[in-house]
């Protein structure tokens, strides 16, 4: 991967026009809004992940981009062109379906060639591009097989090849790796990124696997109940969740509920059941407002002696789980709240055990203030 400073991030300065513009798009089924007033800009060459729980409207949003659903309100623009009146077969998009949707009566080869033939390409060119694609997804030997003669992973590659072969400007992948085992999944994730580098296609990938979103994407859009609640680079989403929902949805998190007690220029103090907790100053929060402090388990330090930290608490080890590279502790605070803390299993340190009293501390900068 390129060094972070040279890696293009057009969404940061927003000087280039976005490639895909989704403007206040809504889709209602009867009274129910499956997608509710979503606006989103996506730039060329991005691998954008839509992340969210089941039924939050990810597939519906994707299907509106592909043209299978008509938006109740709002506009989709791709490459500056309004898509409202463009039927699916004329859009510069291709979609890889969650079910793969391979044509059962056609061989692997014919499945992949189908889109090219619809464009009226010559026989020789079609054959050439199909062969190229088969090589890319490492299915050279299986060209003559029918879909039912393939394994799940192979089918998934055929579906991928079929959606890529037309070199669409925009590729929509609906849970592309959902049916694969962990190893194949990781291999394919890597393959997807390579393909994207090679072809420069813009990807929108739907997933509800947050780890996958973290590894794959340039940016993540988190959806909840038909709305986009936060858009950002994986690191932003993880380190600076904009809401309690996002903090809770992405990774595990400890939430300390309380209210704003004092705001100074360089810190804020939140009054919680555990006492005052310091967080970095955050604009837009008034005094006495109900808030929560989100602290990731791996940002809290444990020790046997009291240490000086912005936030220090004592607790009793209630339970722990040894995970190999790290250990997850469940710690009970005097207030009754259980906090989870992840400790890397380094060298020589004596692990904590049940009912041991421990001191935990974290710097103010490790906490994030969220509403609710």
Ligand X SMILES: Nc1ncnc2c1ncn2[C@@H]1O[C@H](COP(=O)(O)OP(=O)(O)OP(=O)(O)O)[C@@H](O)[C@H]1O
What does residue 66 show for φ and ψ, rounded to 5 degrees?
-80, -20
Shortest separation between residue 34's beta carbon and ligand X, angstroms? 3
Query: Which one, 31 or 119, has the nearer CB to other proteins?
Result: 119
Q: Kindly list the residues in this chain that would bind Mg ion in the complex (CB under 5 A).
A: 59
> Which residues are registered as beta bridge partners of 277?
270
- The piece of 57-65, 314-322, 343-351, 357-365 that touches ligand X (CB under 6 A) is 57-65
Residues 357, 318: Cα–Cα separation, whole Å: 10
Residues 169, 163: Cα–Cα separation, whole Å: 11
In the block, tokens 């393909």 appear at 195
Residues 47, 351: Cα–Cα separation, whole Å: 41
Site string for ligand X, 211-250 (x = CB under 6 A): ----------------------------------------
Q: Binding to ligand X by residue 34, rule CB under 6 A?
A: yes
In the block, tokens 């400007």 appear at 169
Residues 329, 301: Cα–Cα separation, whole Å: 11
Query: Which one, 171 or 220, has the nearer CB to other proteins?
Result: 171
Question: Quick one: what does residue 188 bind among other proteins, ligand X, Mg ion, none, with the CB cut-off 5 to 8 Å set by partner type?
Answer: none
Query: Which one, 84 or 99, has the nearer CB to ligand X?
Result: 99
Q: Binding to other proteins by residue 97, rule CB under 8 A?
A: yes
Residues 309, 150: Cα–Cα separation, whole Å: 57
Question: Quick one: what does residue 208 bind among other proteins, ligand X, Mg ion, none, with the CB cut-off 5 to 8 Å set by partner type?
Answer: ligand X
Residues 346, 326: Cα–Cα separation, whole Å: 8
Shortest separation between residue 69's beta carbon and ligand X, angstroms? 8
DSSP state, residue 289:
-
Residue ranges in 118-147 that form contacts with other proteins under rule CB under 8 A: 118-119
Which of 18, 57, 221, 367 touches ligand X by CB under 6 A?
57
Which of 115, 221, 241, 361 touches other proteins by CB under 8 A?
115
What does residue 118 show for φ and ψ, rounded to 5 degrees?
-65, -25
Q: Binding to other proteins by residue 198, rule CB under 8 A?
A: no
Whole-number CA gyration radius for the chain = 24
Site size with ligand X, rule: CB under 6 A: 11
Alpha helices in 14-70 (DSSP H): 58-66
Q: Binding to other proteins by residue 203, rule CB under 8 A?
A: no
Which of 21, 51, 59, 192 touches ligand X by CB under 6 A?
59
Which of 8, 55, 281, 372 touches ligand X by CB under 6 A?
55
Shortest separation between residue 103's beta carbon and other proteins, angstroms? 6
Name the E strands within the chain. 20-29, 32-42, 47-52, 73-78, 81-82, 93-96, 170-174, 202-207, 219-224, 227-232, 254-263, 268-272, 275-279, 290-295, 301-303, 311-322, 326-332, 338-344, 357-362, 367-371
Q: Binding to other proteins by residue 93, rule CB under 8 A?
A: yes
HSE (side-chain half, CA atoms, 13 Å) at 130: 23
Shortest separation between residue 198's beta carbon and other proteins, angstroms? 21
User: Rounded to whole angstroms, what are the CA distances from 348 to 60, 151, 351?
Assistant: 52, 46, 9
* Neighbour count for residue 207 (Cβ, 10 Å): 22
Which of 8, 17, 55, 88 touches other proteins by CB under 8 A?
88
Question: Quick one: what does residue 56 bind among other proteins, ligand X, Mg ion, none, with the CB cut-off 5 to 8 Å set by partner type?
Answer: ligand X
Question: Quick one: what does residue 193 bind among Mg ion, ligand X, other proteins, none, with the CB cut-off 5 to 8 Å set by partner type?
Answer: none
Question: Quick one: what does residue 29 bind among ligand X, Mg ion, other proteins, none, with the CB cut-off 5 to 8 Å set by partner type?
Answer: ligand X
The contact set with ligand X (CB under 6 A) reads 29, 34, 52, 54-60, 208
The contact set with other proteins (CB under 8 A) reads 66-68, 87-91, 93-95, 97-99, 101, 103-105, 114-115, 118-119, 148, 162-163, 166
């Amino acid at each position: 991967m390129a060094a972070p400073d040279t890696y293009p991030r057009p969404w940061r300065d927003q000087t280039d026009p976005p490639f895909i513009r989704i403007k206040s798009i809504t889709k209602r089924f009867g009274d129910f809004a499956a997608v509710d007033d979503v606006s989103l800009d996506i730039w060329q060459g991005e691998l954008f992940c839509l992340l969210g729980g089941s039924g939050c409207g990810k597939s519906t949003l994707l299907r509106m981009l592909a043209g299978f659903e008509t938006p109740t309100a709002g506009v989709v623009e791709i490459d500056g062109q309004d898509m409202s009146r463009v039927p699916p077969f004329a859009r510069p998009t291709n979609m890889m379906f969650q079910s793969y949707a391979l044509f059962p009566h056609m061989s692997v080869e014919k499945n992949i060639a189908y889109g090219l033939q619809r464009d009226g390409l010559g026989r020789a060119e079609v054959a050439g591009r199909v062969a190229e694609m088969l090589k890319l997804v490492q299915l050279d030997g299986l060209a003559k097989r029918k879909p039912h003669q393939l394994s799940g992973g192979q089918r998934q590659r055929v579906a991928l090849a079929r959606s890529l072969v037309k070199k669409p400007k925009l590729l929509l992948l609906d849970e592309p790796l959902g049916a694969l085992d962990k190893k194949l999944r990781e291999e394919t994730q890597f393959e997807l990124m390579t393909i994207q580098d090679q072809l420069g296609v813009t990807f929108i990938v739907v997933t509800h696997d947050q780890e996958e979103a973290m590894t794959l994407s340039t940016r993540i859009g988190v959806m909840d109940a038909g709305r986009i609640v936060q858009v950002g680079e994986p690191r932003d989403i993880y380190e600076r969740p904009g809401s309690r929902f996002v903090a809770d949805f992405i990774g595990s998190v400890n939430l300390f509920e309380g209210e704003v007690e004092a705001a100074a220029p360089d810190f804020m103090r939140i009054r919680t059941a555990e006492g005052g907790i310091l967080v970095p100053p955050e604009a837009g929060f008034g005094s006495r407002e109900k808030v929560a402090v989100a602290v990731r388990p791996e940002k809290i330090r444990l020790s046997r002696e009291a240490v000086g930290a912005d936030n220090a608490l004592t607790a009793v080890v209630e339970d722990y789980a040894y995970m190999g590279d790290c250990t997850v502790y469940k710690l009970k605070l005097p207030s009754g709240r259980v906090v989870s803390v992840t400790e890397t299993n380094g060298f020589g340190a004596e692990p904590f055990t049940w009912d041991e009293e421990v001191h935990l501390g974290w710097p103010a900068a490790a906490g994030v203030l969220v509403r609710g």
